[in-house]
Structure 1
């Protein structure tokens, strides 16, 4: 099986040649809150070399806690966030899991929370593997 998804307007599509994400979880960092317009971003971390991305993607460069760049990928047509790509971990990319095809995202089992230091106090759900910042 492969993981597939697309942006809101379907101009950007992707395929990941993996059966399941390496990690599925909530990213509570302030940047993800702002990019998602919500309390956290549901992410599906995959191997970058297994990802094929098609369509008009723009990138915005921010800085992560490591001081390295974090590239925010989004559709240049509808603005949907697609992924964030941290230079500090070049082998992985974190897909915005809401962009996965519907039947695939229904099967996700988030168990990890990162950047709990930025978790908003009214978010009461607690997953099995919480990390104050990034996992090592």
Structure 2
């Protein structure tokens, strides 16, 4: 069964023609904290060429630590974050875990923490396998 999800108002929907994410993790980078409005963003990394998105998507360009653009995707109607798309890794995209369909997100098993260099000090010691930046 492919992965699928949507924004809060359901104007943006997506499917990913894969059975499971490449990586499921907690992203502690400052930009993800701000986009999620929380202490981290749960991400499901998938091959970008397997993703199909429909609906009123808006993209905002920021800069990653690499100096390359990181495109933040969100619904232009309700503002729900959908994904972040790093130009430094054009073959993948990080879907926001909360946007996945309920039955799919219930089965997620986060196995990685990224950008722990930005992890807030009051967070649990280790949620998963930690990387100070992106895994190499």
- TM-score range normalised by the length of the shorter chain: over 0.9
1:58 is the counterpart of 2:65: no
Q: Any idea what SS the aligned residue of 2:71 has?
A: strand
Which aligned runs of 4 or more in structure 1 are off by greater than 2 angstroms? none
Which segments of 5 or more consecutive residues in structure 2 lack a partner in the other structure?
Answer: none
1:4 is the counterpart of 2:4: yes
Residue number in structure 1 paired with 2:98:
98
Residue number in structure 2 paired with 1:126:
126
Residue number in structure 1 paired with 2:68:
68
Q: 1:11 to 1:125 in 2, by over 3 A?
A: farther
Q: For 2:43 and 2:57, locate their aligned partners in 1 and report how far apart those are by CA, in whole Å.
A: 18
Residue number in structure 1 paired with 2:47:
47
Residue number in structure 2 paired with 1:18:
18
Q: Deviations over 1:70-109 (max 9, x none)?
A: 0000000000000000000000000001000000000000
Q: Any idea what SS the aligned residue of 1:85 has?
A: strand
CA RMSD after TM alignment: 0.7
1:81 is the counterpart of 2:81: yes
| 1:24-43 equivalence runs, <5 A | 24-43=24-43
TM-score (norm 2): 0.98
* Deviation for aligned residue 1:126: 1.2
Which segments of 5 or more consecutive residues in structure 1 lack a partner in the other structure?
Answer: none
Q: Deviations over 1:6-53 (max 9, x none)?
A: 000000000000000000000000000000000000000000000000
* Deviation for aligned residue 1:128: 3.6
